[in-house]
Amino acid sequence: MDQKQCLYCKQEIHKDATRCPHCRSWQSKFLPDPQSPRGFILVMLGVFLVMGLIIGATEYYKASKTKTATASGQAYSSMTITKSEMVVHDCVCAKCFSIFGEIQNPTKTAWKRVSVYIEVFDSKGALIDTSSEQDSDLIIFANSKKAFRYTRPLMRKPEDYSSHKIFITGAEAAQ
């Protein structure tokens, strides 16, 4: 009795066969035959499950980002940069520029991980450098002001750095 019946076409096959020589179906109860309706349905369910997980994770990520933008109805965009100044100086290995300033938070929410976007211009007003920075140590308490500093290496000659603009682009509500 070296024979067994194929799980799909019911023909006699060798008992150790992993695939039927007649219908070419795999002989595992755990692997669905993709040519059978049951196998097709299981494969499609798997595809939809994976797609659902990806879409769900994406929506969860978007929702968590929205929560960081507002807290108790207070938007980080209410914060303003009240003053800022650019200084070119020597760093450890190269010349750098630093933007020093102060952020004012008029909201009733404390903010952390403040993100900014910096534009640097030459004396003719041409944009010569940009930078997106996030200060993970900076916490701005409710109804307060806080000093900040962002430092970057120079990408051009020091005399090219004439003026700058700085914008707050994000923050997370501090717990």
Q: Which domains does the chain have, with CATH numbers?
A: 3-70 (no CATH), 74-173 (2.60.40.10)
Q: How many angstroms separate the Cα of 92 from the Cα of each of 81, 86, 89, 96, 160?
A: 28, 18, 10, 9, 21
pLDDT higher for 71 or 75?
Answer: 75
In the DSSP assignment, the letter for residue 161 is -
Q: What does the pLDDT look like over 104-123, one tens digit per residue?
A: 999 888 998 888 999 999 99
Please determine, for residue 16, whether its predicted confidence score (pLDDT) is greater than 90: no
Q: Which element (helix H / strand E) includes 113? A: strand 111-121
pLDDT band at 85 (very low <50, low <70, confident <90, very high): very high
Strands 127-140 and 80-90, bridge-based pairing: unpaired
Q: What are phi and psi of 131, to 5 degrees?
A: -160, 140
Reduce the DSSP state of residue 6 to 3 states and report it.
coil
The residues, any chain, with a CB within 8 Å of residue 114's CB and separated by 6 or more, are 76, 79, 103, 134, 135, 138, 140, 148, 168, 170, 171
Average pLDDT of the segment spanning 153-175: 89
The residue ranking higher by pLDDT, 29 or 139, is: 139
Among 13, 42, 12, 14, which residue's Cα sits nearest to residue 30?
A: 42
Whole-number Å distance between alpha carbons of 128 and 95: 16
- Tally of CB atoms within 10 A around 138: 19
pLDDT of 93 reads 81
